Structure 1
Amino acid sequence: MNRGGTTHRSTHGDARLLGAGAALTAGGTMIASAGVGLAAYAVAAAGRKWARRRREFAREHTVGTLHRALAASRAGRQAWRRADGRLCD
C-alpha cells in the first residue's frame, strides 16, 4: 500500500466512473439540446399561427370599417339630397 491510500485498482475504477459520468453528461446535454430545439420550434410555429390570425383579423376589421364608412357616406348623401330638396321647395 502506498502512502496516499490509493491503489492501482481504485484509480482505474475512478477513471471508469469519470468516463461513465462524462458519457452520461454528454448524452444528457444532447437530449436537453433536442428539447430546447423542439421548444423553440413550437414557439416559432405558435408565433406564426398567431401572426396569421392577427393579419386575418386586421383584414376583416378593415373591410368592415370600410363598409360602414361607405354606408355612412351613402346615408349622408341621401340625407343631404332630401334636405336640399325640402329647402328649395
Structure 2
Amino acid sequence: MGLGRLFDQPLPVVIVVLAALLLFGAPSLPSIARSVGQSLRIFKAEADHIRDGSRTPGTTPERRTAEPGDPVDKPAAPDPADQR
C-alpha cells in the first residue's frame, strides 16, 4: 500500500486523528494545525516565486562593497577562560 493510497478510506484517517489526539492532546492540536497551515502557505508562496522567477522587494539583501573610511568590525577580545 503506497503512501498516496493511505487516505483513500476513512479508517486510516480516523486512526491518524486518534493517534494525534493521544500524542499531543486536544488543547494543542489547533495551534499545531495553525502553524502547519501557515508553514504550508509560506512554502507555497516561496515555491511560486521561484517558479515565476519573481521576487518581492526586500527578500534579497542588497550587497554593497566597502568604501574607504567605512568602520571595520574588530574581532572580539579573546576570552581568558579559553586560554587555559
Higher helix share: 1
Give the TM-score normalised by structure 2: 0.34
